[in-house]
Chain A
C-alpha cells in the first residue's frame, strides 16, 4: 500500500516537475510595476518585450519565456519575488532590478539557488567589490562611474565649488562618493534626503541651504518621480539663474516629456553624464530606438536601453553553449566575452563582471521633430573601469 502511494506521488511529482519543461529558456525579470516608480519598470518591461520580438522569441533554437515580477519598490518584496522565480518557476536567469537596495536584498536568494543574476540597472559598489560573485553580472554600469564622469566634467568646466543633493539609499551614497572622487573643487554642502515609498519630495529647506551656500553649481541624483519634483522646485526657486544644474539619472527620457508638457524650457541645455544616449550612432542603438519609437511612440530611457541589452546578453550566453542550459561554466565564459551587439557599441567585462565602457556628456535638447530628448556632447571617459574591481575575488 505504502509503496503504491509513493509510486503515485512520484509520478505526480514528475508530472508537475519543472525539469521536464527545460526546453525553454526561462528568464525572470524583477522590476517595479506598481507605485509611481512603475514608470521606470514599465519602460524596462517595454524594452524587454521589444527585444523579445527582435530575437523572434528564440535563443539558440529554444523558446524563450519571460516571467515579470513586481518588487513594489520594497527590498523584502523584491527578495520574495526572486525566491519565487528561482524556486517555483525555476528560471535560468534572473534579471531586471532598478534599485540597488532591492538587488542587495535579493542577491543571496538568486545566487544560492545557483542561478545567473544579471542586473539591468542597479550597480551598487558592494556587488562590484567584496560581494562580487561569479554568477552575478551587471549589464549597465557601476553606480560610481557616471558621477565620476560628471566630476571630471565639472573640473573641465572650471567649477570651483559644489552643493550636493541625493536620496539616502545605496545608490545615492554611491553617486555622491563617485562625484566626490573626481571633483577637485570644494564641497559647500550636502543633503541626503529620505528615500523609499515615502520619499521626501518637497525640497524647500534643502534648496534654501544650497542657495545660501553660494556654491558655483549643484549636483543631484533624483531618479524617477523625485527628478521631476526636484527640477521643478529648482527652477521655481530661481536657482537655474545662479547655480547651474549637473545631474545623473535625473533628467531622462521619462522626465523630459513631462517637462515639455509642462513647458519648463529651463531644463533644456542642462548637462548630465551617461554611458548611452538615444542619438548614439551604433547599428544596434538605431534599431532599438527606432523600434521603440515606432512601437510605443516615445523615446526609450537608459533603463530601457540596458534591459534591451540584457536580452541580447543572455542570448549570447545561451548561444555560446548551443542551448545546453546545464552548462553554467560555458554560459559564464560566453558572457565574459561580451560577444553581442550592444546599444552602446563595443565594451568589455571587467574581472568583477561589471562593464568597462565609455561615458559621455549629454545635454537635454529638442530633436528634429521638436521632441525633448538628450544628445551627446562629448566623450568624458574612454573604456572606464570602476574602482571596486580590485576588491573582487571569486
Chain B
C-alpha cells in the first residue's frame, strides 16, 4: 500500500465531502424547517458559479467575486422563495417536486440564454493556483485545501448560528415543531424566507468553490443535487450535524471507490470490464448505503428530536 497515495485520496474525499456539505446544509434546513423538497437547490449552486465567473472577469479578483456572489445568490434565493416556493408550503411533497423540477428547467434554459452554452472557467490568483507538500509525497493543490478550510469555517459558523443565536433558536424550534413556533408568535413567513435565502447562499458558495476546478456549466447542479439528497436522508432530515457527517462519509466512499475499486475488481474480472464497472459501482455504493440506513434507521442517522 502506498501511504502517500492513500492520504492524498482521503484528502480528496474530504474535499468532495465538504462540498457536499455546503450543498446539503441549506437543503436539510429548508426540508427540516419548511418541510419543503427543493429540487432546484442545485440551480442555486449553478447560479453561484456563474455569478462568480462573471464577476471574477469583471473585477479581476476571485476573492472579491466570491464576496459579492454570496449575497447575490442569497438575493436570487429570496426572489425564488417569494415568487414560487412560498405558495407551495401547504401543498404535499409531490407538488414541491414538480414545481421545483420546473424551476430547474427554467434556470438551465435561462443560463443558456444569458451566458451561452460554453462553460465559464474561473482563473485563480497565483497564490491559490499552486501546490503544497503536506507530508512527504502528499502534494495537494492549495485551492483544494482552501475548499476544505472554507467548508470547515462555514460549518463552524452554522454551528454557532444554530446553537448560539436567537435566529438559530427559532430555526431549531422550527425544525422540531413548526406549528408551535408559529403559535408562539414568531414571524414564520420571514423566518422561512430567511432560511431559504441562507440555504441558497450556501449552495451558491459551493458552486463558487467548485467552478475554478470544473468551470461553471449548465446543469452542473442537477446530478450532484441527488447526491446531496442522499446526504440529508442519511444524516437525518433537518439535522445540520447529520448532514456534515453524512457528507464526509459519502464524499469518502465516492472518492475511495473511484481510486481503488478498479484495482480490487481486476482480481475478479478482465481489465476492460473492471475499468467500466468500477466508476459505476462506486457511484452505486452511496445508494446502497442510503437504502441500508433507511431500512435499519428509517429516520436517518441523526433525526432532530421531537418530530
Contact = CB atoms under 8 A, between A and B. Distances in A.
Asked if A and B are interacting partners, one says: yes
Contacts of B141: 233, 236-238
Contacts of A200: 279
B5 A258 contact: no
B272 to A, nearest CB: 8
Nearest to B15: A204
B123 A36 contact: no
Nearest to A33: B117
A263 interface: yes
Nearest to B222: A198
Contacts of A264: 123
B85 interface: no
Interface residues of A, number: 43
Interface in A197-247: 197-198, 200-202, 204-206, 208-209, 211-212, 225, 228-229, 232-233, 235-238
A198 B223 CA distance: 6
B23 to A, nearest CB: 14
A35 interface: yes
B28 interface: no
A264 B215 CA distance: 13
A200 B223 CA distance: 10
A235 B123 CA distance: 12
Contacts of B280: 194
Given A192-B275, A228-B121, A262-B121, A236 B219 contact: no
B276 interface: yes
A388 B222 CA distance: 39
A83 interface: no
A198 B222 CA distance: 8
B12 interface: yes
Contact of B214 (A190, A202, A238, A259): A202
B144 interface: yes
Given A168-B276, A208-B259, A237-B131, A228 B117 contact: no
A163 to B, nearest CB: 13
B13 to A, nearest CB: 8
A261 interface: yes
B43 interface: no
Interface string B236-279: 00000000000000000001001100100000000100011011
B118 A262 contact: no
A126 interface: no
A254 B119 CA distance: 10
B16 interface: yes
A168 B143 CA distance: 28
Question: In the complex, which range does the number of interface residues on chain B fall in?
Answer: 35 or more
Contact of B131 (A37, A229, A238, A254): A238
A193 interface: yes
B123 A202 contact: no
B210 interface: yes
Given A34-B112, A228-B121, A232-B121, A204 B12 contact: yes
A232 B215 contact: yes
A163 B15 CA distance: 24
Contacts, number: 122
Given A198-B222, A202-B16, A34 B139 contact: no
A194 B283 contact: yes
A319 interface: no
A111 interface: no
Contacts of A208: 5, 8-9, 12, 259
B170 to A, nearest CB: 36
A38 B121 contact: no
B179 interface: no
A212 B4 contact: yes
Contact of A262 (B122, B214, B219, B271): B122
A39 B259 contact: no
A334 B9 CA distance: 57
A201 B278 CA distance: 16
Given A36-B119, A258-B121, A206 B258 contact: yes
Contacts of B279: 168, 192-194, 200
A228 B215 contact: yes
B118 A236 contact: no
Contacts of A236: 124, 129, 131, 141, 143, 213
B218 interface: yes
Interface in A12-52: 33-39, 41-42
A138 to B, nearest CB: 25
A229 B214 contact: yes
8 contacts: A35-B218, A35-B219, A36-B119, A192-B278, A197-B219, A205-B9, A208-B12, A233-B213
Given A205-B259, A232-B121, A254-B118, 14 more contacts: A34-B112, A34-B117, A35-B218, A36-B219, A192-B276, A201-B215, A225-B119, A232-B215, A236-B124, A237-B139, A237-B141, A258-B118, A261-B57, A262-B121
Interface of B: 2, 4-5, 8-9, 12-13, 15-16, 57, 112, 116-119, 121-124, 129-131, 139, 141, 143-144, 210, 212-215, 217-220, 222-223, 255, 258-259, 262, 271, 275-276, 278-280, 283
Q: What are the 9 closest A-B residue pairs judged by CB atoms, nearest first?
A: A38-B117, A198-B223, A201-B214, A262-B123, A204-B12, A212-B5, A205-B259, A236-B141, A229-B214
